[in-house]
Amino acid sequence: EEQLLESGGGLVQPGGSLRLSCAASGSTFTSYAMIWVRQAPGKGLEWVSGISSSGGDTFYADSVKGRFTISRDNSKKTLHLQMSSLRGEDTAVYYCAKDYSGYRWGQGTLVTVSS
């Protein structure tokens, strides 16, 4: 069973940057689109960004457009989310998931934006 493992979360000051990664095990990574979803403390799920299997198509929520960049390295079976100009409202657990429909999910990585 394919597993996803997020990393790169932590404490960052407002206006700062952070790069999240999602490492996939198994052999199907290159066949699937991937998404990032976040969950602020005590809140519901918020879709953040998605990328096609080839990486040729990328999509963003309005709340992060122009600040976040999604990318993938299929040779390393890794998904990334480059986050810049971070704000307090970006504080959340960030999950990566397989396919636009959310087939498999990682355990999440916590991003805290605070001074």
Partner 1 sequence: DNVMTQTPLSLPVTLGQPASISCRSSQSLVRSDGNTYLSWLHQRPGQPPRLLIYKISNRFSGVPDRFSGSGAGTDFTLKISRVEAEDVGVYYCLQASHFPQTFGQGTKVEIK
* Residues making contact with partner 1 (CB under 8 A): 35, 37, 44-47, 50, 59-62, 95, 97, 100-108
What are φ and ψ of residue 30, in 5° steps?
Answer: -70, -10
The number of residues making up the chain comes to 115
Cα separation, 3 vs 92, in Å, equals 21
Shortest Å, Cβ 77 to partner 1: 19
Shortest Å, Cβ 71 to partner 1: 17
Q: Measured from the CB atom, is 89 or 115 closer to partner 1?
A: 89
Cα separation, 54 vs 62, in Å, equals 23
Shortest Å, Cβ 13 to partner 1: 27
Cα separation, 48 vs 27, in Å, equals 25
Q: Measured from the CB atom, is 88 or 102 closer to partner 1?
A: 102
Nearest Cα neighbor of 76 from 34, 35, 21 is: 21
Q: Measured from the CB atom, is 33 or 115 closer to partner 1?
A: 33
Shortest Å, Cβ 75 to partner 1: 26
Q: Measured from the CB atom, is 50 or 72 closer to partner 1?
A: 50
Is the distance from CB of 109 to CB of 38 less than 8 angstroms?
A: no
